């Protein structure tokens, strides 16, 4: 079973822009099929094509139906989106629980109602589950495409299976502790020359704090080299007033 068996169905959508945005949203998550029941805007719709951006193929392949029943006739499992709890004899689940209700091998439809009113109770009666997106109870209505993209994300996560891992393109390796320690020795020697690590009874505590800062930073080889260059350059300038200012601030905050 794959995302090729997922169908998003817009019932009586009012704005071409929203249809285009939904098309873009489903393509972002590799869902290919969009159906529309009785669009209230003209169709085909140039605004839908314009807002779909790179998903024009989705818009151009949209299938139009005159009833909800016909739009879901070849599907096996239907979820209906709703921003409010209805007085209907229907199982209500959170969108985050969609994955627990998806059945392998089934063709799945997700119904969305018109922007202003949502699905009617008669339209919801065709669904197996009523699905709600948890949100602000005092302002729970979401834009059509925003609602669609949340469903897309949850469905996509289910079909992706394994947790997605990303590798950074940054190539410099993490500096070895020996390199970090060499850098710290350089810093501490420089601070000693400037008389920064005073008074003497606070010296070890100050060094400990400096060590903590740089050892937890997970610095790369390149970053160590940059820092060495920065501190070497600063060391060429004898700005006593600047040193005294930061020395005073550092001493006052050392525990």
Other C-beta atoms closer than 10 Å to the C-beta of 72 total 21
Q: What domain range is 247 assigned to?
A: 177-253
Judge whether 170 lies within some domain.
no
The pLDDT of residue 195 is above 90? no
Residues 156 and 196 placed together within one structural domain of the fold: no
pLDDT digits (tens, 9 = 90+) for 104-115: 789 999 999 998
* Count of structural domains within the chain: 2
pLDDT digits (tens, 9 = 90+) for 213-240: 988 888 888 888 898 888 888 776 555 5
Give this prediction's pTM.
Answer: 0.71
Q: Please state at what angle helix 221-235 crosses helix 177-193, rounded to 10 degrees.
A: 10
CB 235 within 8 A of CB 190: yes
Only one residue has tokens 């929203």, namely 18
Q: Whose CA is closest to 184, among 155, 149, 164, 209?
A: 209
CB 135 within 8 A of CB 87: no
Q: Which of 160, 192, 215 is the C-terminal boundary of a domain?
A: 160
CB 32 within 8 A of CB 4: yes
Judge whether 168 lies within some domain.
no
Residues 150 and 193 placed together within one structural domain of the fold: no
Q: Which pLDDT score, from 0 to 100, does residue 239 have?
A: 52
Helix (H, G, I), strand (E, B) or coil at 6: strand
């Amino acid at each position: 079973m794959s995302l090729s068996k997922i169908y998003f169905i817009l019932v009586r959508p009012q704005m071409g822009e929203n249809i285009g945005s939904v098309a873009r949203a489903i393509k972002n998550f590799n869902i290919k099929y969009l159906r529309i029941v009785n669009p209230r805007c003209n169709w085909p719709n140039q605004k839908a094509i314009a807002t779909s951006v790179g998903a024009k193929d989705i818009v151009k392949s949209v299938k139009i139906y005159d009833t909800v029943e016909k739009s879901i006739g070849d599907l096996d499992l239907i979820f209906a989106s709703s921003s409010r709890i209805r007085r209907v004899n229907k199982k209500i689940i959170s969108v985050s629980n969609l994955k627990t209700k998806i059945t392998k091998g089934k063709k799945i439809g997700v119904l969305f109602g018109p922007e202003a009113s949502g699905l009617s109770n008669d339209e919801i009666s065709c669904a197996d589950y009523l699905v709600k997106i948890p949100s602000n109870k005092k302002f729970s209505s979401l834009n059509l495409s925003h609602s669609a993209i949340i469903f897309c994300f949850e469905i996509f996560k289910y079909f992706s299976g394994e947790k997605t891992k990303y590798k950074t393109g940054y190539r410099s390796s993490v500096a070895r502790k020996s390199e970090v320690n060499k850098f710290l020795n350089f810093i501490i020697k420089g601070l000693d020359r400037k008389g920064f690590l005073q008074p003497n009874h606070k010296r070890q505590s100050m060094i400990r704090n400096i060590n903590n800062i740089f050892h937890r930073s997970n610095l790369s080889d390149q970053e160590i080299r940059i820092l060495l260059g920065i501190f070497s350059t600063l060391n060429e300038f004898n700005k006593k007033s600047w040193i005294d200012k930061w020395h005073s601030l550092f001493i006052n905050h050392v525990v």
